[in-house]
Amino acid sequence: AQSVTQLDSQVPVFEEAPVELRCNYSSSVSVYLFWYVQYPNQGLQLLLKYLSGSTLVKGINGFEAEFNKSQTSFHLRKPSVHISDTAEYFCAVSSSSGNTPLVFGKGTRLSVIA
């Protein structure tokens, strides 16, 4: 079974500053890793995913994440945030072998301050 720990429940950051949202996972098998964003009263939108290959993954809206197998981490970064990035961000994991469900972390609330 897999599990995900998002180390920060809330991250306030000033507009145009960089941000990193931390995610660690646990799994005994190879995994796929994901970051989703959820705006108020909406569903989940995929930001980016790691399946294999390059450990640096680029996603939408200027976000990127780096897969670190030795540290079992998949931290999300953006070099310069905007007010519109204010949202809830979820890290998720699934097994790469089979149709396993996504397992989500508890989320990190990113608040961008003007």
Partner 1 sequence: DAGVTQSPTHLIKTRGQQVTLRCSPKSGHDTVSWYQQALGQGPQFIFQYYEEEERQRGNFPDRFSGHQFPNYSSELNVNALLLGDSALYLCASSLVGVSYGYTFGSGTRLTVV
Q: Which residues here bind partner 1, judged by CB under 8 A? A: 4, 6, 32, 34, 36, 41-46, 49, 51, 90, 94-96, 98-107
Smallest distance from partner 1 to CB 91, Å: 9
Give CA separation, 105 vs 60, 77, 90, in Å. 20, 17, 6
Least distance (Å) from partner 1 to the CB of residue 3? 11
* Alpha carbon distance 19, 113 (integer Å): 12
Whether the Cβ atoms of residue 78 and residue 85 lie closer than 8 Å to each other: yes
The least distance separating partner 1 from the CB of residue 84, rounded to whole angstroms, comes to 18
Cα 51 off chain centre by: 14
Return the number of the residue (15 or 88) whose C-beta is nearest partner 1: 88
Q: Between residues 36 and 67, which has the closer beta carbon with respect to partner 1?
A: 36
